């Protein structure tokens, strides 16, 4: 099972919006509405930001939103803040034999 494809880095200024893409295949992202997104600050455990494509766990800011079109999922962060600077990973269910696949990660820099 190949990893999902994410851009290595994205950047934006405070207050702006950015979008991180996550491209999979018809065997994972394209077939299931089970895409999740994680934020990870250096030295910390990952934090779930979005699950089931667009649902936000309790406590996650509504500045974070998720969507999907075909084999590509997206995470949008609006009103960028300094504390949003982190690594972001997408993840998808990929079927019963190898259920989970992660993306390679995207480093978000807030300029």
Partner 1 sequence: EVQLVESGGGLIQPGGSLRLSCAASGFTVSSNYMSWVRQAPGKGLEWVSVIYSGGSTYYADSVKGRFTISRDNSKNTLYLQMNSLRAEDTAVYYCARDVVGYSYGLGYWGQGTLVTVSS
**How far is Cα 76 from Cα 60, in angstroms, rounded to an integer?**
13
Q: Which is nearer to partner 1, 8 or 82 (CB)?
A: 8
31 is a site residue for partner 1 (CB under 8 A): no
Rule CB under 8 A: choose which of 40, 61, 72, 78 binds partner 1. Answer: 40
> How buried is 22 (Cβ within 10 angstroms: 0-12 exposed, 13-18 middle, 19+ buried)?
buried
Rule CB under 8 A: choose which of 36, 65, 71, 74 binds partner 1. Answer: 36
Q: Give the shortest CB-42-to-partner 1 separation in angstroms.
A: 11
52 is a site residue for partner 1 (CB under 8 A): yes
∠ CA(105), CA(107), CA(111), 5° rounding? Answer: 165
Report residue 24 as tokens: 């999979």
64 is a site residue for partner 1 (CB under 8 A): no
Residue 32's Cα: distance from chain center in Å?
15
Number of residues that bind partner 1 (CB under 8 A): 30
CB 50 within 8 A of CB 62: no
Positions in the binding site for partner 1 (CB under 8 A): 1, 3, 34, 36, 38, 40, 45-48, 50-52, 55, 57, 87, 89, 91-93, 96-105
């Amino acid at each position: 099972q190949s990893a999902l494809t994410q851009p290595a880095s994205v950047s934006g200024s405070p207050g702006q919006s950015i979008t991180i893409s996550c491209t999979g295949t018809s065997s994972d992202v394209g077939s299931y509405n089970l895409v999740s997104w994680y934020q990870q600050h250096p030295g910390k455990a990952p934090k779930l930001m979005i699950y089931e494509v667009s649902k936000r766990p309790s406590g996650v800011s509504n500045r974070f939103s998720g969507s999907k079109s075909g084999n590509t999922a997206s995470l949008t962060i609006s009103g960028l803040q300094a504390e949003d600077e982190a690594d972001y990973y997408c993840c998808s269910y990929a079927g019963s034999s190898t259920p989970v696949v992660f993306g390679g990660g995207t480093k978000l820099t807030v300029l």
